Amino acid sequence: MSLAKTLDQLEISPRKREILTLNHSYLMPNRVETWAGAGVPLVIGRREGYRFWDIDGHELQDLHINGGTYNLGHRNPELVRALVKAVATLDVGNHHFPSEARGRLAEALARHTPGDLHYSVLAPSGGEANDVAIKSARRATGRRKIVSLEAGYHGASGLSGAAGNDTEAAYFHSDYPDEFVKVPFGDLDAMEKALSGRDVAAVLIEPIPATFGFPIPEQDYLPGVRSLCDRYETLLVADEVQTGLGRTGQLWAVETFGVQPDMLISGKGLGGGLYPIGVVVMTREVGAWLGERGWGYVSTFGGSELGCVVALRSLEISASEETARNVAEMSVHLEQGLGDIRSRHPFLCDVRQKGLIVGLGFDDPYGGLKMAAALYPLGLWAMLAGFDRRYLQFKAGLLVDRAFLDEALEKLETAIRRVAG
Ligand SMILES: Cc1ncc(COP(=O)(O)O)c(C=O)c1O
């Protein structure tokens, strides 16, 4: 069906119709058609805290928070103040030279990351930070191969894309099957087989794979991967773009599994949803190239000074005791509420939870998709898990309160009744 015909079937304002048509014509024809066809013709307008409003006025609770980008809420007032204050005197800076904002952020990252992670390389996105991690691992080990999970997503830039979904990478002829090896999630035997040739530079892993619907690994899986890495002299890289910054109940998910990586990636929420920034924090040994090759990685916008100011504040808030306390309390509240709903509705057949990170499994091959579509008109936006459509990612921000969660749980139950009933 043509876009115009699909739009005719939706109740939308002339302004929204114009915006959708512009985006369809000049930016993203397939995305516009997909969302319109799914009955989600969303164009986000006002946004505040953990809510946003479609430009036609529909109010939505944000349980997607863009994978943690809005961990601290949309336009968090403290972060907005930090940005506005910074822009009075700063701009992105000149990436060739040292800067106070970059130095202070890097020192805080070294302090707030586990083990002896020390040097930071600042990038404009999570994907690019993963690219830098892969290059650093190759440089440090003299090996080319990277092992990642079949269930993993690490970004869509060059190397990070090759470390993710093979079909997506192959579509752009950017897959390198000899160099990027994929193993199943949770399978230590497969991991050992992949590493035993002693030719793997790094294992790149999301501690809890987000796009796969947050399957929680067995408590001994990540420590097992760590010891295999040690045995075969392979580096361990934790992609904490989604799982980091307090969402699991600890500042970093690796801490909840008692594992120390050689590199840790952060992004998304680090920029507070206001200024793009990504980072890879690495040990002194892995980052030895930084002492030799000043321009080994160069990015005009990587570590923009405005982004660093926001990121420092965002890191401080995420790491504070007060925030951790709220995450702990709200996680328990959410767990109880989801448990109650599950006991009443077997259609909700799986609840995966670590802190405020939640994947909900439904008894339907497209359950995640159907639930996202059912929740939208009820005023809640949550995103299905792209690699497993039975699952819905149900992601609350770090500063939510009970009333917000109760409202979301009520909508969830109503949507389950509609979809299952
Ligand atoms: C786990 C993980 N790593 C990396 C990325 C890539 O981050 P960016 O979109 O900033 O490149 C994402 C984005 O969704 C992600 O979920």
pLDDT in single tens digits along all 421 residues of the chain: 678 778 778 889 999 999 999 999 999 999 999 999 888 999 999 999 999 999 999 999 999 999 999 999 999 999 999 999 999 999 999 999 999 999 999 999 999 999 999 999 999 999 999 999 999 999 999 999 999 999 899 999 999 999 999 999 999 999 999 999 999 999 999 999 999 999 999 999 999 999 999 999 999 999 999 999 999 999 999 999 999 999 999 999 999 999 999 999 999 999 999 999 999 999 999 999 999 999 999 999 999 999 999 999 999 999 999 999 999 999 999 999 999 999 999 999 999 999 999 999 999 999 999 999 999 999 999 999 988 999 999 999 999 999 999 999 999 999 999 999 8
Say which residue the tokens 């992004």 belong to: 267
Which ranges of 142-220 does DSSP label H, i.e. alpha helix? 158-162, 166-171, 188-195
The C-alpha angle 99, 104, 105, rounded to 5 degrees, equals 105
Relative to the CA of 129, which ligand 1 atom is closest? 11
Q: 241 in ligand 1 pocket by Cβ < 6 Å?
A: yes
Ligand 1 mean position, distance from CA 30 (Å): 21
Relative to the CA of 125, which ligand 1 atom is closest? 10
* Beta carbons of 24 and 3 less than 8 angstroms apart: yes
Q: Can you give the C-alpha Rg of the chain in angstroms?
A: 21
Ligand 1 mean position, distance from CA 271 (Å): 13
In whole angstroms, give the CA distance from residue 235 to residue 147: 10
Closest CA relative to residue 353, chosen from 344, 365, 341, 345: 341
CA 288 to chain centre: 28
Ligand 1 mean position, distance from CA 142 (Å): 26
Q: 153 in ligand 1 pocket by Cβ < 6 Å?
A: yes
Ligand 1 mean position, distance from CA 154 (Å): 5
**What's this model's pTM, rounded to 2 decimal places?**
0.97
In whole angstroms, give the CA distance from residue 336 to residue 113: 31
Ligand 1 mean position, distance from CA 130 (Å): 9
* Beta carbons of 117 and 110 less than 8 angstroms apart: yes
Q: 125 in ligand 1 pocket by Cβ < 6 Å?
A: yes
β-bridge pairing 117-123 and 59-62? unpaired
* Beta carbons of 253 and 354 less than 8 angstroms apart: yes
Relative to the CA of 211, which ligand 1 atom is closest? 16
Q: 262 in ligand 1 pocket by Cβ < 6 Å?
A: no
